[in-house]
Structure 1
């Protein structure tokens, strides 16, 4: 995630709005996979990077701890939770149902220009993968999915999905090295279903897209602790967000 300048730009003055901006950036980092399991946050570095005082950062971290998106350690530091295989399997199973349903509902609201925009996002992710820009792959993937979920226009589904991605997003980093996992083939299937106005096909393609990643990550979590991309969760650190 790129560093941000001061948050007190026009239209964002006031403690409440700065608080919302800080929380939004932290949520985005979690949902897009910029933050990874086991990553410990430094209050001082977060505040300096976001150009704000420690107070809104502390309040945002506390809110994320309360929602189980982050966890507080005995020494009062805060980190991204590590999910075991059982938790990951449960999380992806819930995602299959909820996000598949969202794709089905969204299909009633799509337009051709909107699908063209979705295709552009997907192409950006595919190009980023070819050039090895994995941070952009994660960003494009998150943007692709949430463009669909917002189209449900549901005040019920979207907060649920956001909560799921806050828990699941950090694990996505560890799927980037899997051959064929990020070929965007299921994204193309989803868009095809939208163009054909086929809600059932859209739901099925979304479920396959989520299952493909979930199956890989759960299998890795069940593998020996000395092998696989989940073996050393603390090996990847992303300054200036960590100690």
Structure 2
């Protein structure tokens, strides 16, 4: 294939694949953080991660730089890296932005979501109920992430989804602390309300449920931080 510029043919270069080892390591680390596999207070090192992923230090180091810049991880001491401490100011800031961004995504999803996606959300609701009943925190966190991001994908906006993931990389590691506060049961009620609102194309209803879910977690975490 060629393009013509100034009447002279110019061959288009073959696209370079972006799916590099660094990208794959970065994606895996994001998944670990979002799914609660790296918890507050837990330390990891480049060496331990490289051994876990079966890769050299370089892609791990580069992926960690991206997550440090995104404030998803921080250097704790020496070569040890962990989840940043969450203070009241950061928590309040995250709450305000999440309320606006995630409720917007939910409203857009209400307009665009397909029946097959609603079925997926119903299944995730069941997984959440099962995990909560079994007091299986890790399974709950994975299902919670799957539920919310399935909903937000319904907004049909990659930009919104990327922004929300950045916010969740900073806040979601602390969702594990909410188990002992009874939040998972109340959150499941909000999840069911979201599904019903989506079924009825009730934009105000899904926005209220998302905001209530975010606020409930925020008020509990405010008691736990600092």
Match of 2:32 in 1: 29
Match of 2:22 in 1: 19
Match for 1:197 among 187, 198, 201?
A: 201
Match of 2:154 in 1: 151
- TM-aligned CA distance change 1:154 to 1:221, over 3 Å: same
Q: Which runs of 4+ in 1 moved over 6 A?
A: none
Are 2:98 and 1:95 aligned?
Answer: yes
- TM-aligned CA distance change 1:103 to 1:15, over 3 Å: closer
How far 1:78 sits from its partner (Å)? Answer: 2.2
Could you say what secondary structure the match of 2:184 adopts? Answer: coil
- Alignment coverage as a number of residue pairs: 209
- Structure 1 window deviating more from structure 2 (43-52 vs 174-183): it is 174-183
Distance in 2, Cα, partners of 1:196 & 1:89: 32
- Contact conserved, 1:47 with 1:53, CA < 8 A, in 2? yes
Q: Tell me the alpha carbon deviations over residues 204-243 of structure 1, each in whole angstroms, 9 at most, x when there is no partner.
A: 1111111111111112225xxxxxxxxxxxxxxxxxxxxx
- Structure 1 window deviating more from structure 2 (15-24 vs 111-120): it is 15-24
Unpaired segments ≥5 residues, structure 1? 1-13, 223-243
Q: Tell me the alpha carbon deviations over residues 103-158 of structure 1, each in whole angstroms, 9 at most, x when there is no partner.
A: 00111112233211111011112101111221010000000000011111113211
Could you say what secondary structure the match of 1:35 adopts? Answer: coil
- Contact conserved, 2:102 with 2:164, CA < 8 A, in 1? yes
Are 2:217 and 1:213 aligned?
Answer: yes
How far 1:182 sits from its partner (Å)? Answer: 3.2
Are 2:187 and 1:186 aligned?
Answer: no
Distance in 2, Cα, partners of 1:34 & 1:88: 21
1:159-178 equivalences under 5 Å are 159-178=162-181
- Contact conserved, 1:29 with 1:35, CA < 8 A, in 2? yes
- Contact conserved, 1:37 with 1:170, CA < 8 A, in 2? yes
Match of 1:71 in 2: 74
- Contact conserved, 1:34 with 1:138, CA < 8 A, in 2? no
- Contact conserved, 1:64 with 1:70, CA < 8 A, in 2? yes
Distance in 1, Cα, partners of 2:155 & 2:193: 18
The TM-score with structure 1 as length reference comes to 0.80
Distance in 1, Cα, partners of 2:42 & 2:94: 20
Match of 1:49 in 2: 52
Distance in 2, Cα, partners of 1:102 & 1:15: 27
- Contact conserved, 2:183 with 2:217, CA < 8 A, in 1? no
- Contact conserved, 2:103 with 2:210, CA < 8 A, in 1? yes
- The structure whose residues are more often strand, as a share, is 2
Structure possessing the higher radius of gyration over alpha carbons: 2
Unpaired segments ≥5 residues, structure 2? 1-16
Distance in 2, Cα, partners of 1:144 & 1:15: 28
Match of 1:237 in 2: none
Distance in 2, Cα, partners of 1:179 & 1:170: 17
